Structure formats: structure tokens, C-alpha cells
A = this chain, B = another copy of it.
Amino acid sequence: MIKLTIKRIAELANVSTATVSKVLNGKDKNISEATRRRILEIVERENYRPNRIAKGLKLKKTNTIGLIVPDIKNLFFAEMAKGIEDAAEKKGYSVILCNSNNNRDKEEKYINMLQDRMVDGIILTTSENNIDLYFRDGQVPIVLLDRNIDADLNIGRILTDNEEGGYIATKHLIDKGCKNIGFISSINKNFSSYNRFIGYKKALLESGYKINEKLIYTGSFSIETGYNGTLELLKNSELDGIFCGNDYIAIGAIKALKEKNIKIPDEVKIVGFDDILLAKYMEPPITTIRQPIYDLGKEAVNMLISIIDKKDTEMTKILKTELVERGSS
């Protein structure tokens, strides 16, 4: 069974392809009602659907966006991707999914590949070790999601207020009476992690605490880092609170503390970050700084499409965080 083309429809309707195209795209002010109806009827009957690739080539618009994330199996990115796909679908766009595995080279390859595929725009959560820029100008519209790059390129940014989040988290631990508050997170190059750290420092200093290098451990946003970091911090201090850079780290921290028979929250209090879907089901349920993860994705799509449509858009949007108090503190 051969796929229908506009040419075939035109033959069936005894008109030219131009006419069919016009009717199909609503540019039919000069088409007689009779032909219009005849064409539509045939299109309907034959169940004709235009070839999007051909259309994309001609129009230089594919209604496709690329999404590059470090790792889709991370709940954070999974939920974000859901927000993105949902929002994109509503606006008639499709999403090409790319995992960079936190590898800068792969990320760059994907960016090229996506442009070869004529995507209309790209949503990008850069790899952690990528802080400088490699985008040339005049390329596809890009929205940076949950990351920032220090450059005045014409790039959109959707961020959460990580510094404030870090501040709130640390302040919460201080208010709960913690005296020696550790910080375990990803490396400082990671934009989010770094800003949470700034908030952490700010809260400590504001309350007259000293910054103790021995209470700071950086690795990656993973359970392992949480686990290893906690064991490390426990070695050399009177640790009684940990601000974890994200909930995965908090999960690892909890695991380590349990193994050492240290009571949470009595002996050590834990605050995470993100509020991933499972945070509240952990034991104890994790006190965390909620980010509107799904909305981050949604907003990124909306911003990107605004840019694509050349609408006048604010190029940076910062979403607020919120403390969710649970059993771990």
C-alpha cells in the first residue's frame, strides 16, 4: 500500500497540488467553497496525512525540539522530561531525547546532530563539567535548563533560586539547633550545586557559624556520593546536620547513618533538595527543598517556543523553591 501524497489527492480532486495545499493550510480565501469541500472530503475519505519531513524541508520548520539531559533515568530529569514532553505536545511539537551521560563531547555531538535534523530549538541541561560555552552565534534557539553559562549569548535560561534554596535549607537546620552542619553535593562546577553552596555559606555566616572545610564534601549528585560523603564527614567531627545537595545524596546519607546506627533526626538531621517523587516515601521521609521540577520543564518549553516564534520574551526565568518539612529533620 503506497503512501498518499498531495499529488495523488490533487489528481483525485481534479485540481493542482497548489490548491490542495492551500485548502489544507487554511489559505483558502480564494478557493471556491465547492472545491474546498470536494478536497476536504477526499482528504477525509482517503485519510490523507501530509508528510512532515517534506513539509519541514520546505518550510525550514520541523516542529521538533531537542532535549539534552545528563541522564533520563535520574528521577529529576525524568520528571522534567515529562513536563517538557507534555508542554511540547500541547503546542504541536515533538521531542527528541538525548542523554549526554554528563559528557561534554557527547553533548556537543548531540547539538550538532539536532541541528542537522533541523530542530527548531534545543532545551539543554549541560553536563556538569561544562561551564564555558561552545555555542557559536546564530545557531538554533537554545534554552538552558537548570544550568547557567556565564556568557551574554542570546540564550534562554530557566533556573530555580538555588542560592535561596540552600539558604533556607541551612537556616532550617540552624533553627532546629544543629551546630555542625555538613554540606554534601556535586562538584562546584555544577551550577546548581555551587549556588546551593553559596546559600549554605550565607546562612552559616549570618548566624555566626564558621565555615568548616572538613564538613564539606563534593562528588556527584548520586546516592554513592551521599553515602561516601556521610561516612567521610562522620570521621572528623561532631556532625549533627547535613544539607544534601539533592535528594539522591540524602538517600545515600540516610543509608550511611543507618548503618552506623545514628538516629535521624535525633542525632543527625538531614535536608535534601528537589523533592523527587520518592522523597516522602523514604524512612524517614526526607525534609527537602522543593523545586517545581515539572514546571521547570514546562516553562522551558514555553520560553523556547516564544523564542522560536520570535516573540518578545524575558530570557531568564527563576522559579522559587519551598521548604518541605518531613521526618528527617
Contact residues in B for A317 (Cβ distance below 8 Å): none
Interface residues of A in 65-79 (CB under 8 A from B): 67, 71-75, 78-79
Contact of A82 among B67, B72, B113 (CB under 8 A): B72
Residues 246-269 of A, flagged 1 when their CB comes within 8 A of B and 0 if not, give 000001001100100000000000
B82–A223 touching, CB < 8 Å: no
CB proximity of A81 to chain B, nearest CB, Å: 5
Q: Of the 9-residue stretches A165-173, A184-192, A198-206, A275-283, which lies at the interface with chain B? A: A275-283
Q: How far is the CA of A6 from the CA of B153 in the complex (A)?
A: 29
Report Cα–Cα, A82/B112, bound state, in Å.
21
Cross-chain contact of A85 among B50, B54, B62, B72 (Cβ < 8 A):
B72
Interface segment out of the listed A92-100, A142-150, A156-164: A92-100
> CA of A82 to CA of B99 in the docked complex: distance in angstroms?
8
The reply to whether B117 and A73 contact each other, CB–CB distance below 8 Å, is no
- Produce 1/0 per residue, A19-52, CB < 8 A to B: 0000000000000000000000000000001111
Complex CA gap A72/B137 in Å reads: 33
Assess whether B73 is in contact with A94, with CB atoms less than 8 Å apart: no
Contacts of A98 in B (CB 8 A): 85, 89, 94
| A residues neighboring B (CB under 8 Å) | 1, 49-54, 56-57, 62, 64, 67, 71-75, 78-79, 81-82, 85-86, 89, 94-99, 112-113, 115-118, 137-138, 223, 251, 254-255, 258, 277-278, 281-283, 294
30 A/B residue pairs, CB under 8 Å, sorted by A: A49-B112, A49-B115, A52-B113, A52-B116, A52-B117, A52-B118, A53-B57, A53-B117, A64-B117, A67-B97, A71-B82, A72-B78, A72-B81, A73-B79, A73-B81, A73-B294, A74-B78, A75-B75, A75-B78, A78-B78, A81-B97, A85-B99, A86-B99, A89-B98, A94-B117, A97-B97, A223-B281, A255-B281, A281-B282, A282-B283
User: Which B residues lie within 8 Å of A258 (CB)?
Assistant: 283
Contact between chains at B85 and A78 (CB < 8 Å): no
- In the complex, chain B residues whose CB is within 8 Å of the CB of A294: 73
Chain B residues with Cβ under 8 A from A97's Cβ? 67, 81, 85, 95-97
Taking a contact as CB atoms under 8 Å apart, the answer to whether A51 and B118 are in contact is yes
User: Closest residue to A138 on the B side, CB-wise?
Assistant: B1
Interface centre among A51, A67, A254 (most CB of B within 10 A): A51
Residue of B nearest to A67 (CB): B97
**In the docked arrangement, what's the CA distance between A79 and B75, Å?**
9
Contacts A53-B56, A281-B282 known; list 15 others, CB within 8 Å. Answer: A51-B116, A53-B118, A72-B72, A72-B78, A72-B85, A73-B79, A73-B277, A75-B75, A75-B78, A94-B96, A223-B281, A251-B278, A255-B281, A258-B283, A282-B283
